[in-house]
Amino acid sequence: MDAQEALKTLNVKKVWLPILCGLAITGFLFYRSGKISIEIVALLSEPNWNYLCIAFLSILLREVGHIYRLRILSNSSLGWTSCFYVAILWEFGTAVTPSVVGGGLVAIFLLSKEGLSLGRSIAYIVVTGIMDNLFFLLAGSFGLGGAYEAIFTMAGPLSSSIKAFFFIIYTFFLLYNLVMIIGIFINPKLLKYILIHMTSIGFLKRWRRPAYQLSKDIMITSHEFRGKCSLFWCKMFLCTLLIWMTRYILMNCLMAAYCPISLRQHLAIWGRQIVMWALMLVPVSPGGSGIAEFWFQEFFEPMLGNYTLLIALLWRICTFYLYLILGAMLLPKWIQRGFKSKAVQSS
């Protein structure tokens, strides 16, 4: 992704499409449910403030985790300010691009503009992807033992399709992580050889170029991270746990702020979020806008009743609209900071 293409993606004007899409579908869901009134909205003025404070704290801790993980990855070569900009604008890039695209390419551009080489930037994104996938594999493994069966049956006629899709996604991430771990930590040259020769077969030739690029990324990442000590990986794993656990705890706290939630229900909410995350990989809408609200209603209306769509809106404000606003505010400053300083250096 070159600078022009990246800046086209990181465009403040792109904020409006996901906002309008998300609010339009939320409005439609409110209209269809017939459960919106002044009285219901007034219920939001009487929360459990302890849970709301924990929800707010979880947002802060999540970004602390993002920033510190970037700092660890770069061996402190990235300053705290650079890590802050990259963390927020990475979230912004994810919010304005479809779920199937994600913010990885944007993050590579951000890191390279913060002074890292393209190879190191790619290596950092590959490793963060492996760590994030590892969390999903650990959390999703409960579904292998049947713990998520009740969640799948909630979808009614779609239950078998959702269950099949979840396990397809789980298998894909498992195989991807295995391939990447073997390539990075065991024998990158062997994996490169296998990928190139596999894509020499007739019907696989169309994947030859992506396979070659993947093998290059693996070689670069292996060179960068193969000799890292166990303390480095412990820090990375703990940061990843913090990032994802606070992301999920946020929804639990927003619900508990307005509805009495038992420990068993908290665990059920956690499991439903894991399944929702897998389902939100499919939409082509920016940041899954609209689709996230739809699945929230499907999974949580039996538990939340009249509060469902209002809490869905609060949840999306905290996890989606917040980063659109922050990104729109910080992007011009980051461009001025990054591009002008390089112009001064070149002159």
DSSP strands (E only) in the chain: none
Amino acid 237: pLDDT:
95
pLDDT tens per residue, range 29-67: 777 776 666 766 777 778 899 999 999 999 999 999 999
Residue owning tokens 């990375």: 236
Amino acid 347: pLDDT:
44
* Tens of pLDDT, residue by residue, the chain (347 residues): 555 666 666 666 777 777 777 778 778 877 777 666 676 677 777 889 999 999 999 999 999 999 999 999 998 999 999 999 999 999 998 888 766 555 778 888 889 888 888 888 888 998 999 999 999 999 988 877 777 887 777 767 778 888 888 899 999 999 989 988 888 888 888 888 887 888 887 777 777 887 788 788 888 888 888 888 999 999 999 999 999 999 999 999 999 998 888 888 898 899 889 988 888 877 667 777 778 888 888 888 888 887 888 898 899 999 999 998 998 899 889 888 766 555 444 44
Amino acid 238: pLDDT:
96
Give just the sign of the alpha carbon dihedral 244, 250, 255, 256.
Answer: positive
Q: Which of 319, 344, 286 is CA-nearest to residue 55?
A: 319
Residue owning tokens 């990855």: 73
Instruction: Please give the model's pTM, rounded to 2 decimal places.
Output: 0.86
Spatial distance between the Cα atoms of 171 and 212, rounded to a whole number of angstroms? 23
**Buried b / exposed e along 80-97 (16+ C-beta atoms within 10 A):** eebbbbbbbbbbbbbbbb
Spatial distance between the Cα atoms of 270 and 3, rounded to a whole number of angstroms? 39
Amino acid 344: pLDDT:
44
Q: How many domains does the chain have?
A: 1
Can you give the residue range of the structural domain that contains 20?
A: 3-346
Amino acid 112: pLDDT:
87
Spatial distance between the Cα atoms of 50 and 92, rounded to a whole number of angstroms? 29
Spatial distance between the Cα atoms of 127 and 72, rounded to a whole number of angstroms? 12
pLDDT tens per residue, range 85-123: 999 999 998 888 766 555 778 888 889 888 888 888 888
